[in-house]
Chains A and B, each alone.
Chain A
Amino acid sequence: MIATSPSDVETQVGPLLGSIDRLGLYLESLREGGYITRVLNDFIATRGRSALVGRDDVGEDVIVLIRNAQFTMHVRTHRRPNPTIHSVSAAFVSVLLGEAPITVTRYRPARKIDYDIFEPGVELIEEAQLPYDGRFIAADPAVHTISEWHSPEPFLELRLALGSTVSQIWHFDRATRCSIFASLSNMKLTGLVTLARTFAALDDHRSLPFLKNLTSHESHIVRWTAIQSIGKLDRAEALVCLEAAASDSHPHIRTSAAKILHRTGGGGP
């Protein structure tokens, strides 16, 4: 399959989305077929006005080739290790471009973890260091290993990532290899949290129905932010939400809701 435009790539990827192996082989074919070269050549020749990539899709070391509801595809230059070792939020498949000598280091958390429930101090154990063989690499948050690529030279990665399946990315300190913080895994969650906080700051009751809907969102971070925002807008409504939250599926919400209810004298008949 020859791709000459972003729409070609979207059309070609669509039928492959159910199979990581087929996506991996497709990325290998994109690498061999010169599509990435064409995108970069055009970007340079047009001084950033290429029709193959949007202006907002180019960053310091990254060029986003496709971004849609099902997947994103980007090319990234790796110049130095990330400040932290981090987990992934979505299944993805990658190929490397170029000739740099790459080592893949594989870690696993010292115990089984739920990425949606962050805990500081969880240790990461190095499992293996393997040479990169040129074939595609796949990762999935459902598989608890974390892989990192290392090279003494910069290298280029082509990655296709599916939608996030966990709401947080865990970050591990590189020196101690212990978890130190978590960040939100995708733009939609970030947007909902931003919106909930903004509505609270605007102190306008028109946002209450929307915020109440968010208290049943699948992400516990969104649910808790919505409850906090409701608390700033309407105390009575917040108590109702907290009573429901006392039996939330997420332990942090249950604990926090119970504490607040205890402090305020709510939570019982």
Chain B
Amino acid sequence: MKIYDIETTEALTQEAFFARVRAIAHKPLSEAYISEVAVYLKQLANNRDLLWDHLGAPTFDNWESSFVGPMSFHLGQSERVALRMNVWVPSKKKGGFASWEDELYAYGLAHNHDFTLLTVGYHGPGYETDLYDFDDERAELPAGEPVALKNHRRLTLAEGAVWQYEQYRDVHVQREPAALSMSLNVFFQGEARPRDQLWFDIENACVAKPVPFAAVGRLVSMIEMVRFVANDDTIAVLKSTEQSDPFQRVRTAAGKVLNELHAGGV
């Protein structure tokens, strides 16, 4: 986790933020580039009218077109950067089941990201996160694989705090905020994803499992789906996948489905 210490009182509109981001779009995705975007993000967070302007106050006619998830607003994107506002709410347990807030935000679930995330606290006390350093560079790790999770610390994303979650490295466990909180998040387009995203078992210091809805997991899932509706083209696609996909998990899934299809006479 890179924690920025940015002193600026300048406040940017959303348009000005994207204008500045576009002005440096020629630069490679590097620490220097991300640090520049971090300054603009901090300046955007200084704009206390951001949500009102974006949603089209006072009628708020734009709310539905920018609402992209149970708790996210898509504020805009450029060729290099996508900007979202996340709303973090305290969880409500229901009948012994994990609440949808728990599941949505992965509250209590240790994970890393297969992308770099730049975030700034915009409103409220902010969520807490238990953070660990994870420097294993293997592309894939199976469930149960022992891992070293180092340097545990607990941080709070307070208003104005700017953090950079580093791709793969920052294993974290989100804790619900004390009260509704908001953050602005920047994602970087076109980032290579050479490794699998993982859930972790902190207590046993091992991989809990690869994240099933991350890029690799989704590909495996689609391979498992296609066996129900396979045709001759499917066989060719799966053979190519089995031979050339960079991830062993994907190659294995393709091989397994091919065997099942052969056994079933396809």
Contact = CB atoms under 8 A, between A and B. Distances in A.
A206 B71 CA distance: 21
A44 B228 contact: no
Contacts of A44: 219, 222-223, 226, 237-238, 241, 254
22 contacts: A31-B229, A37-B229, A37-B233, A40-B229, A40-B234, A41-B226, A44-B223, A45-B241, A56-B68, A83-B97, A99-B228, A156-B225, A180-B95, A183-B100, A187-B70, A188-B64, A191-B64, A195-B63, A200-B180, A202-B51, A202-B123, A210-B60
Contacts of B180: 197-198, 200-201
Interface in B210-244: 212-213, 215, 217-219, 221-231, 233-234, 237-238, 240-241
Interface in B160-219: 179-182, 212-213, 215, 217-219
A210 B179 CA distance: 22
B124 interface: yes
B97 A84 contact: yes
B115 interface: no
Given A44-B241, A191-B64, A60 B221 contact: yes
Contact of B95 (A48, A181, A201): A181
B217 to A, nearest CB: 6
A209 B237 contact: no
B52 interface: yes
B8 interface: no
A83 B103 CA distance: 13
A228 interface: no
Contact of A37 (B124, B182, B234, B240): B234
B59 A210 contact: yes
Contact of A181 (B97, B227, B229): B97
Contacts of B117: none
Interface residue tally of chain A, by bracket?
35 or more
Contact of B94 (A40, A77, A181, A206): A181
Nearest to B94: A181
Contacts of B217: 60
A120 B75 CA distance: 39
A102 B233 CA distance: 27
A37 B219 contact: no
B95 A173 contact: yes
Contacts of B233: 37-38, 41
A48 B215 contact: yes
A45 B57 CA distance: 45
Contacts of B241: 44-45
Nearest to B213: A60
Contact of A156 (B212, B219, B228): B228
Nearest to B124: A201
A25 interface: no
Given A34-B229, A40-B222, A44-B241, 8 more contacts: A44-B238, A60-B217, A60-B218, A180-B97, A190-B70, A195-B60, A201-B124, A206-B52
B58 A75 contact: no
Interface residues of B, number: 50
Given A183-B100, A201-B179, A97 B58 contact: no
Interface in A172-204: 173, 180-181, 183, 187-188, 190-191, 194-195, 197-198, 200-202, 204
B136 interface: no
Contacts of A47: 219, 245
A116 to B, nearest CB: 18
B58 A206 contact: yes
A26 interface: no
Contacts of B254: 44
B11 interface: no
A85 interface: no
A154 interface: yes
Nearest to A53: B222
A63 interface: yes
Interface in A239-256: none
Contacts of B219: 43-44, 47-48
Q: Which 3 A-B pairs have the closest CB atoms?
A: A98-B228, A180-B95, A181-B94
B212 A58 contact: no
Nearest to B234: A41
Interface in A22-66: 31, 34, 36-38, 40-41, 43-45, 47-48, 56, 58-61, 63
A3 B220 CA distance: 25
